[in-house]
Structure 1
């Protein structure tokens, strides 16, 4: 019997047929892309303010994750990050937490090339989509971070290293028993204040009015932040924040969108 008779042969596929790769247990979904759990169990457990979403990654998004992650991606693994080295320049950096599919982030980056945007999310399709948008638009001032923004702030960023913080349409966790999961809480602002430079702007937006009221209450009570509106209260949507498709759908349903813009101050600088 010949040697070839005992050698397993590859399954036969018709010419042009697509072959679906089945990942082995433990094999990364995107070998050159974002890690599945970058921080692992190395940091203290806490109440999570985000809910990971699993949805289909398109071929274009997967391609962007594979090709661009090494240069434009950051896994939130707890190791200190040098922001000038990450972006290749020393321009001011704004942190955006939760960017969805990234359309608004890309528009803001294109409109303000002198500002770097470090955009954090755990939604893999959105990560790939934003990387693709940045590449097609020639935007070099976007970096996409994968993982828990709290670990990024607490473990990886230097004090006073951020020029701004954007939190647009975070999960409102509408049920009362889940309110503790909302991101904008006193403890979160305590941490954020240590990473924001003086005069940095915290900009939040939500279409969930009870959450907007809580955001306003928490921000107004914090000694390190002051409302950028002298008369207080909510701010009109600034021109630099694009009207997103999600927001437009909410407005069509009669939702009220509230923006909040607060400036980071020293305690003795408060009016």
Structure 2
């Protein structure tokens, strides 16, 4: 997500992963910025990562072993500074959540939220979401995938870098159970139109509202500070909710 606040100029830290952020070659949907944590984020990271962090090296996980129970499982890709993901996890203790974020300050900020609110139903990856999808999550293991406010790559020559593409959506489809939900949101109208085109053409998905229609914001998607700022400036927000049908 794009609500990247509460950062100060502290010494940089390295990723907890023992290998690079991504193993994939070719076009990337993100630019890896030099990460800097606040003291509070770093301290929370140091205390919480051993319990709440997941790595590529662990391989394909069994969510029941990771969380110690069987419960609806949600995945958020690109959680930014993690406030919204922590809010969702706190509001739904009967569900489990996995967050993916390549930028380390966001991971530290989320783990601070986990610690501050005593959350037990949340785990985090600090690697490329493509590796999480391909190497870490079993097929049909997810009840919901959320991609909120991904980088819009607004210049036309950069549209190929957008995360939401037909091939990516199909890989997500296999990780969702039949009946599971793919929830996309953006504040760029052109990207919203692109998302809709991709989803309408995607095999195995059906819009949860009328054909070609955008959804009202569900109550369980928190409004971020970034989104509130955009609304004050007159920016729109578009939500798409598609259900896996087969």
Give 1:102-251 correspondences, 5 Å limit.
102-230=82-210, 232-251=212-231
Question: 1:38·1:75 contact (CA, 8 Å) conserved in 2?
Answer: no
Change over 3 Å in CA distance of 1:78–1:47 after alignment to 2? farther
**Residues 87-107 of structure 1, C-alpha deviations (whole Å, 9 max, x = no match):** 222212111001111111111
Q: Does residue 56 of structure 1 match 2:56?
A: no
How far the C-alpha of 1:134 sits from its partner, in A, is: 1.2
Change over 3 Å in CA distance of 1:159–1:244 after alignment to 2? same
TM-score (norm 1): 0.82
Match of 2:17 among 35, 49, 53: 35
Question: 1:97·1:166 contact (CA, 8 Å) conserved in 2?
Answer: yes
**Larger RCO (CA within 8 A; separation ≥ 6):** 2
Q: Computing the radius of gyration over CA atoms, which structure comes out larger, 1 or 2?
A: 1
How far the C-alpha of 1:76 sits from its partner, in A, is: 3.0
Change over 3 Å in CA distance of 1:258–1:44 after alignment to 2? closer
CA-atom RMSD in angstroms:
1.9
Quick one: distance in 1 between partners of 2:238 and 2:156?
20
Question: 2:196·2:212 contact (CA, 8 Å) conserved in 1?
Answer: no
Task: Specify the alignment match of 1:8 in structure 2.
Answer: none
TM-score (norm 2): 0.90
Quick one: distance in 1 between partners of 2:215 and 2:75?
20
**Residues 164-217 of structure 1, C-alpha deviations (whole Å, 9 max, x = no match):** 100000000111111111111000011111111011011011001000000011
How far the C-alpha of 1:154 sits from its partner, in A, is: 1.1
Aligned residues: 236
SS of the equivalent of 1:108 reads helix
Task: Specify the alignment match of 1:252 in structure 2.
Answer: 232
SS of the equivalent of 2:143 reads strand
Quick one: distance in 2 between partners of 1:37 and 1:246?
32
Match of 1:99 among 60, 79, 92: 79
SS of the equivalent of 1:200 reads strand
SS of the equivalent of 2:197 reads helix
Identify unmatched segments of 5+ residues in structure 1.
1-21, 24-28, 267-271
Quick one: distance in 1 between partners of 2:32 and 2:150?
13
Quick one: distance in 2 between partners of 1:46 and 1:203?
26
SS of the equivalent of 1:226 reads strand
How far the C-alpha of 1:37 sits from its partner, in A, is: 4.0
Question: 2:73·2:97 contact (CA, 8 Å) conserved in 1?
Answer: yes
Task: Specify the alignment match of 1:261 in structure 2.
Answer: 241
How far the C-alpha of 1:38 sits from its partner, in A, is: 4.2
